[in-house]
Amino acid sequence: MRDLVSGCAAGTAAPSERDLVERFGVARMTVRQALDALVAEGVLQRFPGRGTFVAPPRRQPSRIASFTEDMAGRGTVAESRTILAERVKAPAGVARALGLTPREPVLRWRRLRLADGSPVCLSDAYLSASLLPGLLDGADLPASLYDELSSRGRRPTWAEDSLSAGVATPEEAALLECQEGSVVIRLTRRALWEDRPIEISRSVYRADQHTISFQLGS
């Protein structure tokens, strides 16, 4: 049955149960069970009163990319300068986002992100200390957070991003080397590893240096 519908356009009528019984010489119940399985998998769609049809391909969320990977995809070289790396008690909002108890320890990593040597983004990430022991210990911090999480088998598998426009504060303008009050893009991310929140981050991008793209479908 998979071979029969392979390559067919979405919306193409699938062979009827009767046709499949005659073609394969099997019981009607066997055919019905096979069709039910393919409907459950999303290969076929069933519309009451109309029949069974080839389903459109299921769309998958875009892969969660790190800043380093994003820059590489744009043909630029990413760099990071650590401004702050410490273990702190989680602020109330961070604790809620990470599913922690109030004041539970978290890792805070604030970095200035550069592309080809030019400041592009100011990132402030809070990370689950219990899931990432020793992440910020030592003099040499990871070059890429998500590469480090991958090496630990804990790269985020799902993320919720929220975008808004804003203007640069005096501190942000100084670090991003732009005019105070310049337009910036603010991105908040809550990332999960499996079903466990592992990162909450707030990033500020220079709007004149960065474009954020999306893949949409229906």
CATH of the domain at 179: 3.40.1410.10
Identify whether residues 71 and 50 lie together within a single domain.
no
Asked whether residue 60 is domain-assigned, the answer is: no
Identify whether residues 50 and 158 lie together within a single domain.
no
Weakest mean pLDDT among 10-19, 170-179, 196-205: 10-19
Identify whether residues 16 and 95 lie together within a single domain.
no
Q: Residue 118 — very low, low, confident or very high, per pLDDT cuts 50/70/90?
A: very high
What backbone torsions phi and psi does residue 108 show, to the nearest 5 degrees?
-115, 130
pLDDT(60) > 60: no
Identify whether residues 142 and 92 lie together within a single domain.
yes
Weakest mean pLDDT among 42-56, 74-88, 131-145: 42-56
Mean pLDDT of the chain: 89
Asked whether residue 61 is domain-assigned, the answer is: no
Each residue's pLDDT tens digit, 92-117: 999 999 999 888 999 999 999 999 99
Identify whether residues 73 and 50 lie together within a single domain.
no
Identify whether residues 43 and 103 lie together within a single domain.
no
Q: Quick one: what percent of the chain has pLDDT higher than 70?
A: 95
Stronger pLDDT, 200 or 72, i.e. the higher one: 200
**Domains: count for the chain:** 2
Identify whether residues 74 and 154 lie together within a single domain.
yes
Asked whether residue 218 is domain-assigned, the answer is: no
Identify whether residues 98 and 168 lie together within a single domain.
yes
pLDDT at 102: 84
Identify whether residues 160 and 72 lie together within a single domain.
yes
Domain that holds residue 71: 67-206
pLDDT at 11: 85
pLDDT at 73: 79
Q: Residue 61 — very low, low, confident or very high, per pLDDT cuts 50/70/90?
A: low
Stronger pLDDT, 58 or 2, i.e. the higher one: 2
pLDDT(62) > 80: no
Task: Give CA–CA dist 20/27, Å, rounded.
Answer: 9
Asked whether residue 215 is domain-assigned, the answer is: no
pLDDT at 202: 96
Asked whether residue 214 is domain-assigned, the answer is: no
Asked whether residue 105 is domain-assigned, the answer is: yes
Identify whether residues 77 and 136 lie together within a single domain.
yes
| Boundary of a domain, candidates 17, 32, 54 | 54
pLDDT at 59: 56
Amino acid type, 74:
R
Asked whether residue 187 is domain-assigned, the answer is: yes
Identify whether residues 98 and 148 lie together within a single domain.
yes
